């Protein structure tokens, strides 16, 4: 049992006076490359990380007056599984409620449950804590209800929960990563066909490390800026006469102008970078992957306009210490950047960034050395 799973187990027992019937956990993720391409039918290349969110579940006692309750151990916060009026309330509990809602819509009988969650994926950092919570909840609920659904189907239901209940129009990448990733690999996802395949990510054998640098600038995916960029991509696709920007080519960009041109240019070129990155990993060419990461960040900064001074500073510092590559990861507007570098350079990188942030008056950053990890799983 992962330590975070044990914490969820213990929190459940403390809050509800008995042991849970089911414990599941799912990982956060970093996206190596392919940002803001998933909701336009493009390509992405995430990997799960060894930081997880765990959910401990049990069916509510029949004499309970509740429709079920959920408890967040890290927040010491208890919520009703079905809030007053049956709608979302804007809290963390909406992600569990949304999964139950999506499973019910799919025809599954979801029992009233009591649940406790514990996590080690930083919230609001762009590491997809929400999808991790959804995936762990979906796996636990379906197992508790003695239902067996394919992982891809579970991922789509989790996406429906976030789109239709929580109200964030995310693509499929985060839920796929949380449910389909395997240890030591990245996951190459075609967001149009929904096909996915693992790609070796042999960091340790190459003496390399992935460092997540958290600016600690919180961001909310519900912010209008995210939906504005999605709308811009849809306008650009309509102007080009294609279903999504996945079908657009470099030559098509000359037919666009203004903001829609810049957003579309990022998406078209980012899709090409992802495919090149997959080829680089299959050839164990991490130098090529790093160059693509730097190019991706420049595009996200200049064309997609989702970077921040803090994220740009991390990438600049990474270049100064000789990192192979660095880029913002996640939706941007804050959150994290990712650096690919030699393990021997990690301390130099963190010191350089910390000093630079102090000089600029930024909030002190946090750092996570992450490993490509497994997807959602039931506790042993």
For residues 206 and 343, give the distance between their C-alpha atoms in angstroms, rounded to a whole number.
Answer: 9
Q: Does position 219 have pLDDT exceeding 80, yes or no? A: no
pLDDT of amino acid 334: 86
Q: Which of 38, 94, 174, 214 is catalytic?
A: 174
State residue 222's pLDDT score: 43
Q: 3-class secondary structure for the chain? A: CCHHHHHHHHHHHHHHCCCCCEEEEEEEEEEEECCCCHHHCCEEEEEEEEEEEEEEEEECCCCCCCCCEEEECCCCEEEECCCHHHCCCCCCCHHHHHHHHHHHHCCCCCCCEEEEEEECCCCCCCCCHHHHHHHHHHHHHHHHCCCCCCHHHHHHHHHHHHHHHHCCCCCCHHHHHHHHCCCCEEEEEECCCCCEEEEECCCHHHCEEEEEEECCCCCCCCCHHHHHHHHHHHHHHHHHCCCCHHHCCHHHHHHCCHHHHHHHHHHHHHHHHHHHHHHHHHCCCHHHHHHHHHHHHHHHHHCCCCCCHHHHHHHHHHHHHCCCEEEEECCCCCCEEEEEEEHHHHHHHHHHHHHHHHHHCCCCCEEEEECECCCCEECC
Residues 170-212: tens digit of each pLDDT: 778 999 999 999 999 999 999 999 999 999 999 999 999 999 9
Q: Model confidence at 2, in pLDDT bands (50, 70, 90)?
A: confident
> Does 66 have pLDDT greater than 90?
no
Confidence class of residue 355 from pLDDT cuts 50, 70 and 90?
very high
Per-residue model confidence as pLDDT tens digits over 150-173: 999 999 999 999 999 998 877 789
pLDDT band at 85 (very low <50, low <70, confident <90, very high): low
| Per-chain mean pLDDT for the chain | 93
Q: Mean of the pLDDT values across residues 306-331? A: 96
pLDDT over threshold 50, residue 55: yes
Band the pLDDT of 223: cuts 50, 70, 90.
low
Q: Which of 87-91, 171-175, 252-256 has the lowest mean pLDDT?
A: 87-91
State how far the Cα of 174 lies from the Cα of 189, in Å rounded to an integer: 11
DSSP state of 254: G
At residue 293, φ and ψ (nearest 5 deg) are -65, -45
Q: Which domains are present in the chain?
A: 3-200+374-378 (3.30.230.10), 204-369 (3.30.70.890)
Name the pLDDT band for 271 (thresholds 50, 70, 90): very high
Asked whether the predicted pLDDT for residue 254 surpasses 80, the reply is: yes
The model carries a pTM of: 0.91
Confidence category of residue 94, pLDDT binned at 50, 70, 90: very high
pLDDT at 357 over 50: yes
Is pLDDT above 70 for 53? yes
Please indicate whether residue 174 is annotated as part of the active site: yes
Please, which pLDDT band fits residue 220 given cuts at 50, 70 and 90? low
């Amino acid at each position: 049992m992962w330590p975070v799973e044990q914490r969820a187990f213990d929190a459940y027992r403390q809050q509800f006076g008995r042991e849970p019937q089911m414990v599941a956990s799912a990982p956060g993720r970093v996206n190596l490359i392919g940002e803001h391409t998933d909701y336009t039918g493009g390509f992405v290349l995430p990997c799960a990380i060894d930081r997880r969110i765990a959910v401990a579940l049990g069916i509510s006692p029949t004499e309970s007056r509740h429709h079920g309750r959920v408890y967040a151990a890290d927040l010491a916060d208890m919520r009703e599984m079905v809030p007053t009026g049956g709608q979302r309330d804007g809290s963390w509990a909406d992600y569990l409620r949304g999964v139950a809602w999506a499973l019910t819509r799919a025809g599954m009988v979801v029992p009233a449950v009591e649940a406790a969650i514990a996590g080690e994926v930083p919230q609001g950092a762009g590491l997809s804590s929400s999808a991790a919570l959804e995936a762990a909840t979906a796996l636990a609920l379906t197992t508790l209800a003695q239902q067996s659904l394919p992982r891809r189907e579970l991922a789509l239901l989790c996406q429906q929960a976030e789109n239709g209940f929580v109200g964030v129009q995310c693509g499929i990448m985060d839920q796929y990563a949380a449910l389909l990733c395997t240890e030591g690999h990245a996951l190459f996802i075609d967001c149009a066909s929904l096909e996915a395949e693992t790609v070796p990510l042999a960091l340790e054998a190459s003496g390399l490390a992935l460092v997540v640098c958290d600016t600690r600038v919180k961001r909310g995916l519900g912010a209008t800026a995210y939906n504005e960029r999605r709308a811009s991509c849809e306008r650009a696709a309509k102007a080009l006469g294609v279903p999504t920007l996945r079908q657009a080519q470099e030559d098509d960009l000359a037919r666009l102008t203004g903001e829609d041109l810049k957003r579309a240019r990022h998406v078209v070129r980012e899709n090409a970078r992802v495919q090149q990155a997959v080829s680089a990993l299959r050839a164990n060419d991490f130098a090529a992957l790093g160059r693509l990461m730097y190019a991706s960040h420049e595009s996200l900064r200049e064309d997609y306009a989702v970077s921040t001074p803090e994220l740009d500073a991390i990438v600049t510092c990474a270049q100064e210490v000789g990192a192979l590559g660095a880029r913002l990861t996640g939706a941007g507007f804050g959150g994290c950047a990712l650096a690919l570098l030699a393990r021997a350079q990690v301390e130099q990188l963190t010191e350089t960034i910390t000093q630079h942030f102090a000089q600029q008056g930024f909030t002190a950053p946090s750092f996570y050395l992450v490993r490509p990890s497994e997807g959602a799983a039931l506790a042993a």
